[in-house]
Structure formats: structure tokens, C-alpha cells
Amino acid sequence: MIERSATIASTVGLHARPASIFAEAAGELGIEVTIARASDPVDEAVDADSMLALMGLGVEHGELVVLRTEDDTAAEALESLVRILETNHDA
């Protein structure tokens, strides 16, 4: 399993526009990726490619999240998703 942490940079948190951008990118990877607050148990993670699930997390600006995948070859893919989360899409 590969894990990467990211701090949410968008000022409105992981809502509408940032969630849409992130979910689309996650869906295009062709691998299963989950996301959860860093403080939440692993079993509360949601599919990273589901915009509704992302918005349901209610993650706010500055919160730390963890991305996970079982694909041991996906380190670079997770890094690309981290960059999306750590970009302010509301600027």
C-alpha cells in the first residue's frame, strides 16, 4: 500500500470546484485511490474519484488528508493528486 498526505489549499476546502477537479484526475488514473482525513480510521476513507463522496467528507481549508492505493506502482500518480489538493483552486 502507498500513502501520501496532503494539506487542502483551496480556501473553501474540498467542495464543488476543487472536488470536481480532484475527482476527475483520480478517475483518469485507472487505479483505485481512497481519501480520508488524516485523523479518521482507514475504513472511513472514500473513493477519490467520487465528487459526492469527496464533498461528503466536509474537508476544510488547511486540513490534512491521506490518499491511499494498493497499487505499489502508483507513487507518481498519488503525487499528482497531492499537487492538485495542495493548489488553491479558488484563487
Does the annotation count 61 as an active-site position? no
DSSP class of 66: E
Catalytic residue among 15, 45, 67, 77: 15
Using DSSP, how many helices (H) and how many strands (E) does the chain show? 3, 4
**CB-count exposure of residue 73 (10 Å: 0-12, 13-18, 19+):** exposed
List residues with catalytic annotation.
Answer: 15
